[in-house]
Amino acid sequence: MADAHRSVPLAAEAATTEAAREANAVVLDGAVQVKSAASLTRSRKARGSGRRAAWSRFAVDVWITNFNSVEFGIYKHSRNRAKSRQFTSDMDIFAEVIEDGERTGLLGYREDLWRKNAGMDKRLVMKLFNETLNWRATLDLMIGRSLQLTLGARRLPVTCFSINAGDHDNMIYVERSANKWPLAPEHFSFFLLEGGRPQFYRLRRDVIDLGGDYTLYSHRNEVVGRLDGAVFSIGGKWVGAVHPDHANPRLLTVLKLFCGMLIFNGDCRRHVRRLARDVLAGRYEPKLEKQEADLYMNPRRVR
């Protein structure tokens, strides 16, 4: 009888111990699951923010007047010329490049060459400087090449721009496509040589376009960048974003200069169209401006 009385408390104690063990296991399992879920959420957020932060972004903001801190002031233009030989006497700074909330570049063009010249002597020459006015790159409207392409396209204006990026061994040519139907969006194409291998790109203007929006495609027809033009902007403003796999300094330089060129895009097309019409009618004798002629020189010529 004594053994029977002792076995009842022992059994009850064992049952209580087992129940407590199971309850503890459930609590621990729940805590592990909650911790794992929280860790997974944090990792997803980190990956998501990493993807957003990895896209290279910049803004090109066009000024509407020359009353700015770069050029306005007594002897300001002379001081700017002293900082860089690329800052010519007719250079007009018209836009700034903003990255991470700070000014990192300035865009200027040779005003006299574009506004005061005529015929094939009228050319768009745009330059990119850093914030201290050190030269970084130059964009030239190639009149000879543009006329060749326009005449070949039977007077459809096809503009060609050459870009000399200071840290790149090769010239970059941005050309408007001649495969253009009326009211259809325009396309520009170019390629970069990276490690001896060409990387081809295409800029396509959006069909529904209010502020000058362009999409950047790779040669695999993948979207790798965007240029979003501001709708409510007097001078003009573009915000660019480039995928991290393609965000190298040369491509970003091309896109910054391209945004600045868009201010003159329509005038460039009309200028090339008029030149082609006059050449075909015999009213104009083609003659290349000397600085543009130098850009066509054979680098292997005997000197």
pLDDT tens-place string over residues 113-138: 999 999 999 999 999 999 988 999 99
Mean pLDDT of 174-192: 94
pLDDT of residue 38 exceeding 60, the answer is no
Strand-pairing partners, residue 99, are: 102
C-alpha distances out from residue 302 to 152, 170, 298, Å: 31, 20, 9
Compute CA distances 15 → 18, 20, 27, 29, 216, whole Å.
Answer: 5, 9, 18, 21, 70
Helix 265-281 × helix 143-152 angle, to 10°: 70
pLDDT of residue 6: 44
Q: pLDDT band for position 303 (50/70/90)?
A: confident
**CA 29/CA 205 separation, integer angstroms:** 55
> What's this model's pTM, rounded to 2 decimal places?
0.79
Q: Write down the pLDDT at residue 47.
A: 52
CB 192 within 8 A of CB 166: no
Write out the E strands in the chain.
56-62, 91-99, 102-110, 125-130, 135-141, 160-165, 172-176, 187-194, 197-205, 214-218, 223-229, 237-242
Beta strand spans in 28-146 (E): 56-62, 91-99, 102-110, 125-130, 135-141
CA distances from 88 to 77, 79, 94, 111, 257 (A): 9, 11, 14, 10, 18
Other Cβ atoms within 10 Å of 103 Cβ, number: 14
State mean pLDDT over 176-189. Answer: 93
pLDDT, tens digit (0-9, with 9 covering 90-100), for 58-87: 999 998 766 566 655 444 556 666 567 888
The answer to whether 211 touches 193, Cβ cutoff 8 Å, is no
SS3 content of the chain, % helix, strand, coil (to 5): 40, 30, 35
pLDDT at residue 52 greater than cutoff 60: no
Place of tokens 């860790």: 39
Q: Which two tokens stand for residue 270?
A: 């009309």
What pLDDT does 64 receive?
Answer: 74
Highest mean pLDDT among 24-28, 34-38, 71-75, 98-102: 98-102
In the chain, the amino acid numbered 220 is R
Provide the pLDDT confidence category of residue 278 given band limits of 50, 70 and 90.
Answer: very high
Percent of the chain past pLDDT 70, that is, above it, reads 75
Task: Report DSSP state, residue 7.
Answer: H
Question: 3-state class of 277 per DSSP?
Answer: helix
